[in-house]
Amino acid sequence: MCGIAGVMFNGTGEVGVLLTSMLRGLQHRGLDSAGVAFFNTEGRGEDEYVIRVFTKDVVGVISKVSTAIAEAGGDIRNISIKTMNGYGFDRYIIKAKEGDVRRIVDKINGTDYSKVLSAGRRMDIIKDATTVDELDSNFELGKFSGSHAIGHVRFSTESNVDLLHAHPFQSFDHLDVALVHNGQITNYWKSREKLERRGFKFQTNNDSELIVHYIVERLNGGERLSDALEASVADLDGPFSYIVATGTEIGMVRDKLGLRPMVLLEGGNIRAVASEESALRILGKEGTVRNVKPGEAVVWSAR
């Protein structure tokens, strides 16, 4: 019964304010965690990336992470340190070759003190095992501007309730892709085994992480996002709806039986999608609201 939402501006706008309001309208669908992924189509400077790192608050951990980044070929340009409840939620801006980013992520994760939550040139993920209001208060979500964003509130039915199992999920095998999901993938283990044999590394047992790796494999193979979404309807079993965002697009899909809800708003200056119409009411009456059809895939491109 998780809640998912996405919004795309014609240009740029206050994505933090708007998405946070939408998620508040979905808070009743889950209190276990909340998370957002913000995107800016312009991205950062050449070879410049934002990395969010979750760390244990122990002496020397910043030095260990900094050393890991340098050893993998990264050059740190800025560090923002934030500590809450004995853990760090640290933000690094680094300069690196795109091919080195995956190696940097693996090096940081290999310190045993830290886990990378997000890495991208156009994307920034913020999530925690908390409510929307607490996430907003702790990270000042309303200050973020950009072209589009997706978000999630979680009601766990299977996997752990903690930060690493919170949404959005990303795959470090293709940067600037994030996903939020409502439902279950019933052929999870069979599908996961196939992806692991092809080299994908899973950080959790959450079936939502499976979907983002599935999409990324197809994008890496040269498929369009719309093709990947349509293929998932045939290949993934179970009741689901999900939203996936890239640096320039938002895509959404429902399972072939339409067992999980999804409504969207189109035709105005802002396009939006959510689990319930309640999350779209704050956008006013501009545009047309409709249900996404069972098995339907929709993709919006940034303008």
Burial of 226 (0-12, 13-18, 19+ CB in 10 A): middle
The structure's pTM equals 0.95
**pLDDT tens digits, 158-205:** 668 888 889 999 999 899 999 999 999 999 999 999 999 999 989 899
Q: Please confirm whether the linkage preceding 168 is cis (ω < 30° from 0).
A: yes
Residue 286 scores a pLDDT above 80:
no
Q: Where are the alpha helices (DSSP H) in 179-267?
A: 188-197, 207-220, 225-235
- Strand order through the sheet with 249-254: 169-170, 178-183, 240-245, 249-254, 297-301
**pLDDT tens digits, 241-264:** 999 999 999 999 999 999 999 999
For position 85, what pLDDT does the model report? 82
According to CATH, where is 3.60.20.10 located in the chain? 3-43+123-301
Q: How far apart are CA 210 and CA 217, in angstroms?
A: 11
Q: Give the residue numbers annotated as catalytic, written as ranges.
A: 2
Q: How far apart are CA 75 and CA 51, in angstroms?
A: 12
Q: Which residue from 262, 224, 302 is spatially nearest to 13, judged by alpha carbons?
A: 302
Cα dihedral 33/164/78/67 (nearest 10):
160
According to CATH, where is 3.30.70.260 located in the chain? 46-121
Which CATH homologous superfamily contains domain 46-121? ACT domain (3.30.70.260)
CATH topology of domain 3-43+123-301: Glutamine Phosphoribosylpyrophosphate, subunit 1, domain 1 (3.60.20)
Q: How far apart are CA 222 and CA 174, in angstroms?
A: 12
